[in-house]
Structure 1
Amino acid sequence: MNKKIVNLLKMIVLSLGLIAVVIAFGNKNENNDNQGNTSYGFAMGTSISVAIYDNDVDDDKITKSIIEEIKILDKNILSWREKDSEVSLLNQSCGEANSYEPSEELYHILSQSLALCEDSQGALDITIRPLASLWNIEGDFDEEFVPPTEQDINDTLQQVGYKNIVVLKETYSNVAGETTVENHYVSFEKNNMLIDLGATGKGYALDKARDILEDEKVEGALITVGGSILVYGEKCDGSNWKVGVRDPKKPNDTGAMMGHIEFPAGTITCVSTSGGYEKFKTYEGVDYHHILDSKTGYPADSELLSVTVVCDNGLYSDGLSTACFVLGYERSLPLLEKYEAQAVFMDSNGDIIVTEGLKDNWVEY
């Protein structure tokens, strides 16, 4: 079988393992009569699941609509792999002398993502792609892994830095002042830079899904896109939502939980997890994970094994989980406070730390 197909199948199996855990917790109730109608898909390099809890809507139509919307978002806008996506076209056309005019939607995503980059002081950096490609930890599972040299890392770091992205907005009106038009432009202050929205895109997909749920007047839903989850509304029996958090000390056991977060019926929020256990490669007995520090060029060393962030905004929950993993517990607290978010941390000793606003929701195993 083609090696690329084998690797894709491995990714799907790993992702479905995570989704199975989340759905099991979402459906859990004593009477076992509240199973959501669940559909699955694949986009953004990961698996998607959509569970609808509402007996009065066309759940098949809604689940298909949400999955298709996420696929279109990935293919047309977010994917750096798709040569005709907006992000790819931006990466191809931008340089010191060129600019790109993004759609209103990409402009919105870039603006929110860059705000997170700035507020996290670069712990989240959407220009990390050249460095990620150099390390290739997300690449071929069967390929022999050798860490890049320090010289290669230092050279590649010259292509990384969100502060070198320039986003401009031009606003003008017609002569009578009746119509206001906005034009947006993106440019890079350095050549060979590449934008990668992988750290915020899955969360943004949840924001898009929430819009569909609202438009369709759905009572309850649980949606996962990789490690990001949307808890929405109320299940048919009014029972609490329970979102399991994987135990990063047992990376090969997708069913191993360190605890769960319990949300009351009616909650609408997003939960995103980042951890070094998700994707890593080993060289001479040392594990190298995929979450890179844009300041050092190496996998982040913050003495954390995982971070799970709860935030009402999906894009922010996704980006914050990455930023907090890079920052470490203490340095994450002001950032979480600014975005009105809560979090569960597990440090390298296996100790679990829960922020104050989430302590009543957390159940540890």
Structure 2
Amino acid sequence: MLLLSACSRTEQVETLTGFAQGTTWHVTVWQPGGVDLNTLQKHIDAEFSRLDTVLSNYRADSDIERFNRSETTALVEVGEEIVTLVRTARTISEASQGCYDLTIKPLFDLWGFTGDTLTPPSPDVLAQVRQHIGFSKLSSPSGNLLQKSDPKLRVDLSSIAQGYSVSRIAAVVEAAGIQNYLVEIGGELQTRGHKPDGSPWRIGVERPLPEGRSVEKALTIGRDTPTAVMTSGTYRHYFDEQGQRYSHILDARTGRPVAHNTVSVTVVHDNPTEADAWSTALLCLGSRNGVKVAKQQGIAALFIDTEGGQLQEVPTTAWRALKEQHIEVN
């Protein structure tokens, strides 16, 4: 009886929480025999710290910001992680017809989305800055080098780095021998395995409304293989200026915030890095064009539009077929 009691105490869900990358994170785990939470916490904190020094656009000493400051067309060593992210993003950018583009950082700064005040630029200034935007001006000739053809080019990894961070924290968890977990950073997440009683992880997709928080959809992840759920939306980060609402999602082709009525896109994928980038790319395109691209790429995505003050769901074919992958949508 004592033995059975001890086992039941160790086979329970444990959750670690913290603050990183400008948001909160939660790691929920369980494993037969229990989990060394103190050691796991140390390893997670160390990995977040390492990722920060590589990918953060808010740290002047990070590898990506060192590259951004290097106003040169010479080769710059940035490491394999950044090059891999750039290559992944380039493929998705091409599929989005250039709407999604990591080189929009000068535009993001120009509009004021990095601060507290929106500053809509004049057409002349916008045209001038757009001359220094575009994946065509960025190359990755080797596994750890990047090169600019325009010295003023700057890269913003925020649309893909969080998904990659989810994958890295999940790798830390798995390195500890844990096969059952839910890793979440700022609402972006990956699951693996199931709960101690055999029941699946359940995920809530937030209703895309600025006021309050409620669930639009619930996903029941009935498969044990790694599954990423990523959502991008315009409903939390925006500015209202002179009666007009400006989304923080910028279309690299125009240099302006998107103007369509798609307010969120949720993507279910087996790769959190790609899922993160795809959710942003499809949100940039909007449902009218994004559904076509998602269908071509086989992406399971749920677009949510606003029509006459009401929310309208627009699922892709792959999203409707999630049940075949043992993922229930309610």
Task: Check whether TM > 0.5.
Answer: yes
- Structure 1 residues 286-297: aligned runs within 5 Å: 286-297=244-255
Gaps of 5+ in 2: 1-9
C-alpha distance in 1 between matches for 2:204 and 2:115: 28
Change (3 A) 1:35 1:132: farther
TM-score, structure 1 as length reference: 0.79
C-alpha distance in 2 between matches for 1:168 and 1:101: 11
Aligned-residue sequence identity (percent) comes to 30
Q: Are positions 1:133 and 2:109 aligned together?
A: yes
Identify which of 37, 42, 47 aligns with 1:69: 47
C-alpha distance in 1 between matches for 2:235 and 2:223: 31
Partner secondary structure for residue 266 of structure 1: coil
Q: Are positions 1:213 and 2:189 aligned together?
A: no
Q: Are positions 1:49 and 2:21 aligned together?
A: no
Question: 1:356 — aligned with what?
Answer: 317
- Structure 1 residues 197-208: aligned runs within 5 Å: 197-208=157-168
AA matched with 2:185? V
**Do the aligned residues in 1 keep the contact of 2:265 with 2:303 (CA within 8 Å)?**
yes
C-alpha distance in 1 between matches for 2:11 and 2:112: 42
- Structure 1 residues 270-349: aligned runs within 5 Å: 270-333=228-291, 335-337=293-295, 339-349=297-307
**Do the aligned residues in 2 keep the contact of 1:53 with 1:221 (CA within 8 Å)?**
yes
Kindly state the Cα deviation for residue 94 of structure 1 after the two structures are TM-superposed.
4.3
Kindly state the Cα deviation for residue 54 of structure 1 after the two structures are TM-superposed.
2.5
Question: 2:65 — aligned with what?
Answer: 88
C-alpha distance in 2 between matches for 1:230 and 1:358: 17
AA matched with 1:358? W
Question: 1:12 — aligned with what?
Answer: none
Gaps of 5+ in 1: 1-32, 170-182
C-alpha distance in 2 between matches for 1:247 and 1:117: 27
C-alpha distance in 2 between matches for 1:34 and 1:275: 36
Question: 2:81 — aligned with what?
Answer: 105
AA matched with 1:158? Q
- Structure 1 residues 139-150: aligned runs within 5 Å: 139-140=115-116, 143=117, 145-150=118-123
Kindly state the Cα deviation for residue 44 of structure 1 after the two structures are TM-superposed.
2.1
**Do the aligned residues in 1 keep the contact of 2:247 with 2:257 (CA within 8 Å)?**
yes
Kindly state the Cα deviation for residue 223 of structure 1 after the two structures are TM-superposed.
1.2
Question: 1:155 — aligned with what?
Answer: 128
Cα RMSD (Å) of the superposition?
2.2
Residue by residue over 1:114-134, the C-alpha shift from the partner in whole angstroms, topping out at 9 and shown as x without a partner, is: 222222222220001100011
Q: How many residues align?
A: 312
Partner secondary structure for residue 351 of structure 1: strand
AA matched with 2:40? I
C-alpha distance in 2 between matches for 1:286 and 1:362: 38
Question: 2:210 — aligned with what?
Answer: 251
C-alpha distance in 1 between matches for 2:13 and 2:244: 42
**Do the aligned residues in 2 keep the contact of 1:54 with 1:235 (CA within 8 Å)?**
no
